[in-house]
Copies of this chain bind each other. A is one copy, B any other.
């Protein structure tokens, strides 16, 4: 591995120059006028994989943007990594808030600024360069690798599920690796091993066929907004615990090892509260803030609408009231089952004075690879070798639906091996990637393949 690391160090500047070219193509998947750029970026990615020494490099067509596929499967008996990333990027508006043009990558203070630098071209390119170092230096990789880079992640990966189902053979592997997340904090590299899922609903309550005058009719009929407040207030007790019967049945408890690991994290609750501008933090009693966000399910209102909401006063009894609500789910909760429990509870507590309509919006499974999974631990050792620091093992509160897809369709564990930073501005102006992290990330990726090879 010393020779591989030397190679990476020697070619450091070239890697940055090549990355700049990659970042120069505006592969904005949400904007049809960039369709040509998107395809050009797929081809650029394929060329880079070919140049690195990968085999079977090809574009696989989908009903949308093509998938870039490549593999190197010449390590019989060794594990196979499925690397997943995306070459498409977010739109750049408001473009006037960028310090330098989003598609003219610019280095300032050790960070490279460009759309796609962190999310996700920079991190995809990090792996391509780690592969190149192995193949150019030693002629082989320590394990088998399949590369799968899609072009529709920023538009909801609309064709991904179908693609994975149709290409199970091409994608068969022992572990999925994704580098598309930030680390815990600057100087605190991390491996994320679990994500929350989601169950999202719209609740519509109707009291009367039309809005009524609150003087002429106030007192005679149930107010749908009051009914809505009533049912929402019954979703949680005073300790922040969700009251839907059976809701917690499938929640995997936090282990002592996880709680101990997270207690060590440099997490400043006062700073966190002040950054959010919250008078006080609040959550389920018995858990710390990180535990609440990473490992406990939630019930939140995402939107409310009823009656008159303009300036001034209108004495109206609203006919209807609407809420968007969602639950973040944790392993092993199932969005379908949670939806059933929620619906049954809501129907039970909602008074018969109103019509109740419940619409199931999108949902997603939580994802988890065991805290002590051998690939997770291997990734930790690789990070330590790349960054000179033991990483923290954390979860995230959000969702990456593709992780659940891979788990469901391919039945394999996954590792989130991200080198972005929390202030990377992934979907905002001045997106950036720390070049130190990029460089260390290439070394860590090179070690990752070695460490995964060593797991059996």
Contact = CB atoms under 8 A, between A and B. Distances in A.
Contacts of A276: 208-209, 212, 217, 220-221
Interface string A36-74: 000000000000000000000000000000000000000
A315 B283 contact: no
Contacts of A225: 232, 301-304, 323
A75 to B, nearest CB: 37
Contacts of A313: 200, 202, 302, 324, 326, 361-362
A293 interface: yes
A416 B39 CA distance: 77
Size bracket, chain A contacts: 35 or more
Say whether chain A's binding surface is mostly helix, strand, loop, or mixed. mixed
A306 B324 CA distance: 10
A155 interface: no
Contact of A282 (B196, B222, B229): B222
Interface stretch (A25-33, A162-170, A347-355): A347-355
Interface in A343-395: 351-355, 361-362
A387 to B, nearest CB: 23
Contacts of A399: 215
Given A216-B293, A220-B281, A283-B219, A317 B304 contact: no
B324 A220 contact: no
Given A208-B278, A308-B324, 14 more contacts: A196-B218, A208-B276, A215-B398, A218-B300, A218-B397, A220-B281, A220-B292, A222-B282, A223-B300, A225-B302, A225-B303, A232-B233, A279-B355, A303-B318
10 contacts: A208-B277, A220-B276, A220-B281, A220-B292, A221-B278, A226-B299, A226-B300, A302-B314, A302-B318, A304-B321
6 closest A-B pairs by CB: A209-B277, A215-B398, A225-B301, A233-B233, A229-B232, A219-B292
